[in-house]
Amino acid sequence: MPQPPAPVPAMLFLYRRTAANRLRQQVARAKSPRYLAAVVMGMLYIWWALFRNAQLGSGPLAKLVETDIAVPIASAFLLLSAARWWLFGGERSALAFSQAEVQFLFPAPVSRRQLVHAKLMRMQLAILLNTLIFSVLLRGGGGSVEGWQRGLSLWMLFSTLALHRLGASIVHANAMEHVGTARRRLIVPLLVFGAVLAAVIFGVVTAWPLLRVASLSGVKAVLLAITDALRATVPAAALWPVRAVLEPVFLGGGTKWLAAMPWAVMILSLHYLWVVRLDKAFEEAALEATQHRAERQRRLRASQMGNSRSRKGKLATVPSLALTGRPEMAIAWKNVVAALRGGAWRTQLLTFTIGLAALAAVTRSASDRAGDVFMGVTFAWGAMLLFIGPLWMRFDLRLDLPRLAMLKTMPLPGWRIVAAEIAAVTALHSITVWSLMVVPLVMFLQEPALLAESGATIPIIVSVAVGVPIFNALMFTIQNGTALLFPAWVRLGTEARGFETMGQNLLTTGATTLVAAVALVFPVGLGALILWITNDWGGWSVLVATIMASAVVMAELWPLLLWLGGVFEKIDVSEVAAST
Amino acid sequence: MIDVIEYTKLYGDTVAVRSLSFRVAPGDVLGLVGPNGAGKTTTLRALAGILQPTSGSIRIADIDLHTDPVAAKSRLAFIPDEPQLFDYLTVTEHLQFVARLYGVQDAAPRIPVLLEELELTAKKDALPTELSRGMKQKLAIACGLLHRPSALLLDEPLTGLDPVGIRRMKETIAARAREGAAVILSSHLLHLVEELCTRLLVIRQGQAVALGTIAEIVEARPELAGRSLEEMFIALTGDDAVS
């Protein structure tokens, strides 16, 4: 007697065995001393990042939940994120299955509803991991909330967000593929979302005069003014569903938490029922998203993002390559072409620069204070770009690792290949950061008198301009070095996105920053020593200190590049192939 | 000239290739055949400088691949079974890239000739994503031929090609051998091997089980006389084969 099909146990088996085999593979990898050392360092780092405030009895982000502004600001942020999913289709990757899942699950006797549940099950792994990370980060904050209460609240929050993203993606993808009924189905949520957004914008616009006054007193005052605006009747009512799932995370005290939970459970349940009822649209949308993801992954491996041709079929013009000369220039050129064609870097840079220049002119015209605030924001953005840019911009070895076999046949020593891979992306990212200089430039052009009264500004700007490429070279070397040393851990795509992976991304960025900080101990120390000796903290000694610090960074990078070249020559292609 | 002396490659305790020795003279086309997992690709990758041998030595045009890898690599070309191309470079730009990388002095006149030879002229401004599997294979081969390699390593070079493409490709490979390149060709297409190759190297479980011309192999193994190449292959690599 044949057994009836049992898709749910089969899927559970698939995910359980996948997780177990992946773990086993990672453990086996740790037999290599290199990976073992990294695992130990990683564990120490995670312990440091998550538990360093253990003596104080609270997590590093615990104070965040105790502030008055957290819930309204987070509600508005989540609403904007959700609006993006509805307006622009969200992330199709939320719908996608792996190619193997499509091959085995879709032709199998599995109902559409079971497919939806398979997707929900798979999403839980990332949700649970993030719940754990954020539970630790937020522990102790918010008064008497127990650990399990915060964990449950976070799990409900992340699950609701994931369900909402999934639902929005299904409806949007379906509407894009079909006309008529499917497209009409998008109108209702868009109208609802439009009304909610309008209510929030109405609240902010109503409070505009107060916001202007607050802008004179700094960022904190602005945030408080926005919070007050969002607490007004209309925007508060519009934001209620978002706040309902957020509040249990932030509320202190057992009774308050118990009172808030039923609403959060209701919102989560409604989301679940909604997504499950979308099962008919899900199958088709998931197939389409899987195909789209496969195509995107293929492009990511080759050119990071986007289409190489414009809609009219034209290729972006690129600098021509001389057929003779230093061979490593060919590698650097190839990466520049990737950025121009694959990443539309030039268009983004131009848009970014023009936008900055316009904002600089507008803010300086509005008031000196507004101009100063914008200048401060630009500096902060620049500093952030220096750290985040090397994670985003991957026109280097990380892009080429899947073609490692081909790279290894190139008639060049390993260190020259590694250096060429890093050089192009360093130059491109330096230009991106330099483009921020348009802000002070526009302001000086508006008011030439500022130039004479600028004091420390000019030496600092020149020093930053000199230091940026060196700092970028260091950051990109760290990123590429990590890819070379631990190719099995390198992620080439950006599939793992959304709220589910926020915690992991937070940890990865922190780890990179930590390595950079160690590398900068000597250069920064030398720079500080020069400034201390000259006692000229705002003059041209800053430039001298920057040049000397840059020289030390270069002295650190040189042996590092030679060593990474050796690693490149010895690396086994099978190690990389397993990860791609 | 390609010289392989006692080449061994281990992955942990697993033997991928054991004590392989052979020589390919200029003008020779050596057919590398064996069942799946026999070590063909591992051998080709070692010859291309992609894999480090566990022991033994490899010389390309009398240059030791281990001691002077850059010089040795500049004399060889490896065309893998799966073309590895940059999706954002056009067909012509791929060749320009290779020209600069290998320092090809006469690249400007050679590029259009190669494009014509491999029937890529009409696609010279196309990106690899806009090419068929066969076209990509042709582009990979064009890139490999641009710097006139002394050693040409081809892993399943006819995959994805149509009958006309196969014919042109066979002519191209034979022409390079006539010009003095030492060619190693790995393929499961035994009729291609029989037609193109001057000698055969049959490997099984990482070990050579036969090396030489078909006549020399039959001379060493008289029981193979009168058999087709396919029957010889099965006899040499099957479970009952005696190494």
Residue of B nearest to A417 (CA): B101
Same domain, residue pair A372 and A485: yes
| pLDDT for residue A497 | 44
Domain-embedded: residue B175: no
Give the model's pLDDT for residue A246.
Answer: 87
CA gap B38, A345 in Å, rounded: 46
DSSP B63: E
Asked whether residue A351 falls in the same domain as residue A262, the answer is no
Residue B172 falls inside a structural domain: no
Overall average pLDDT of the A228-237 stretch? 83
Same domain (yes/no): A166, A246: yes
Among A265, A299, A333, identify where a domain stops. Answer: A299
Looking at the structure, do residues B156 and B242 belong to the same domain, yes or no? yes
CB contacts, 8 Å: B71 with chain A? 411
b vs e for B77-106, b when ≥16 Cβ sit within 10 Å of the residue's Cβ?
Answer: bbbbbebbbbbbbbbbbbbbbbbbbbbbee
Rounded Cα gap, residues B47 and B73, in angstroms:
9
pLDDT-derived band at A304 (thresholds 50, 70, 90) equals very low
Cα–Cα dist A330/A336, whole Å: 10
Which residue in B has a C-alpha nearest to residue A295's C-alpha?
B129
In this structure, the answer to whether residues A558 and A442 fall within a common structural domain is: yes
- Which pLDDT belongs to residue B240? 56
**A487 falls within a domain:** yes
Query: What per-residue confidence (pLDDT) applies to A562?
Result: 95
Domain count across chain B:
2
- Tell me the mean pLDDT in the region A131-150: 73
pLDDT at A63: 63
Residues of A in Cβ contact (< 8 Å) with B101: 327, 330-331, 410-412
What pLDDT shows up at residue A220? 73
Q: Could you tell me if B68 and B4 lie in one domain?
A: yes
Would the pLDDT of A413 be above 90? yes
List, for chain B, all residue ranges whose pLDDT scores fall below the cut of 50.
242-243
> A448-490, pLDDT tens digit by residue?
777 766 666 788 888 888 999 999 999 999 989 888 887 766 6
ipTM score: 0.81
- Residue A305: closest C-alpha in chain B: B88
Q: Does the distance separating the beta carbons of A409 and B49 come in below 8 Å?
A: yes
Q: Is the pLDDT of residue A4 over 70?
A: no
Please list every residue in chain A whose beta carbon sits closer than 8 Å to the beta carbon of residue B78: 409
Under the banding of pLDDT at 50, 70 and 90, the label for residue A169 is: confident
Do both B52 and B157 map to the same domain?
A: yes
Residue of A nearest to B10 (CA): A572
Give Cβ neighbours of residue B68 (< 8 Å, ≥ 6 apart): none
Asked if A250 and A355 sit in the same domain, the reply is no
Residue A291 and residue A332 share a domain: no
Digit-coded pLDDT (tens) for A270-279 = 999 988 888 8
Chain-chain contact of B74 with A299 (C-beta, under 8 angstroms)? no
Across the interface, whether the CB atoms of A334 and B89 are under 8 A apart is answered yes
| Domain count for chain A | 2
State the residue for tokens 């496969």: A294
For the cut 70, the answer to whether the pLDDT of residue A505 exceeds it is no
More confident residue, A8 or B48: B48
Give CA–CA dist A376/B123, Å, rounded: 51
Residues B238, B156 share a domain? yes
CA distance B78 to chain A (A): 7
Q: Is residue A320 within 8 Å of residue B99, measured between CB atoms?
A: no
Q: Is residue B169 part of a domain?
A: no
Could A334 and B71 be called an inter-chain contact, meaning their C-beta atoms sit closer than 8 Å? no
Classify residue A92 by its DSSP letter: G
Residue with the bigger pLDDT between B19 and A300: it is: B19
- A22: pLDDT confidence band, cut at 50, 70 and 90? confident
Q: What is the mean pLDDT of residues A524-538?
A: 86
B157 and B127 in one domain? no
What pLDDT score was predicted for residue A422?
95
Question: Among A61-75, A131-145, A416-430, which range has the highest average pLDDT?
Answer: A416-430
Range of the domain at A219: 61-299
For A321, which of B78, B86, B97 is closest by C-beta distance?
A: B97
pTM (whole model) above 0.80: no
Question: What is the rounded average pLDDT of the residues A186-200?
Answer: 82
Residue A4 lies in a domain: no
- pLDDT at residue number A58: 60
Residues A41-91 pLDDT 10s = 777 777 776 666 555 556 556 666 656 677 888 888 888 888 878 877 666
Minimum distance, in Å, between the CA of residue B100 and any CA atom of chain A: 5
Tell me the mean pLDDT in the region A365-394.
85
State the Cα–Cα distance between residues A484 and A490, nearest whole angstrom.
9
Query: What gap in Å lies between CA A277 and CA A257, rounded to an integer?
Result: 30
Average pLDDT across chain A, whole number: 80
Q: Pairing mode, if any, of strands B55-60 and B63-64?
A: antiparallel
Q: Which of B77, B88, B107 sits opposite A308 (nearest CB)?
A: B88
Å between A402 CA and nearest CA of chain B? 9
Task: Give me the residues paired with residue B200 across strands.
Answer: B31, B212
Q: Which comes out higher in pLDDT, residue A281 or A261?
A: A261
Q: What is the pLDDT of residue A11?
A: 77
Q: Specify whether B92 is located in the same domain as B208.
A: no
A25, part of any domain? no
B71 and B157, same domain (yes or no): yes
Shared-domain flag, residues B59 and B118: no
Q: Are A568 and A422 in contact (CB under 8 A)?
A: no
pLDDT at B138: 92
Shortest alpha-carbon distance between residue B102 and chain A (Å): 7
The residue-averaged pLDDT of A500-514 equals 63
Task: Note down the domain range covering B46.
Answer: 1-75+151-164+181-243
The whole-number average pLDDT for the span A360-375 is: 83
* Domain assignment present for A310: no
How many inter-chain contacts (A to B, CB under 8 Å) are there?
A: 101
Q: What are phi and psi of B9, to 5 degrees?
A: -130, 120
Cα B172 from Cα B166, distance rounded (Å): 10
Q: Considering the domain boundaries, does residue B170 fall inside one?
A: no
Lowest mean pLDDT among A123-132, A135-144, B110-119: A135-144
Shared-domain flag, residues B93 and B209:
no
B67 and B96 belong to one structural domain: no
Phi-psi region of A529 (alpha: psi -120 to 50; beta: other; left: phi over 0): alpha
Q: Which of A298, A327, A572 sits opposite B103 (nearest CB)?
A: A327
Q: Do B70 and A334 touch (CB under 8 A)?
A: no
- pLDDT above 90 for A399: no
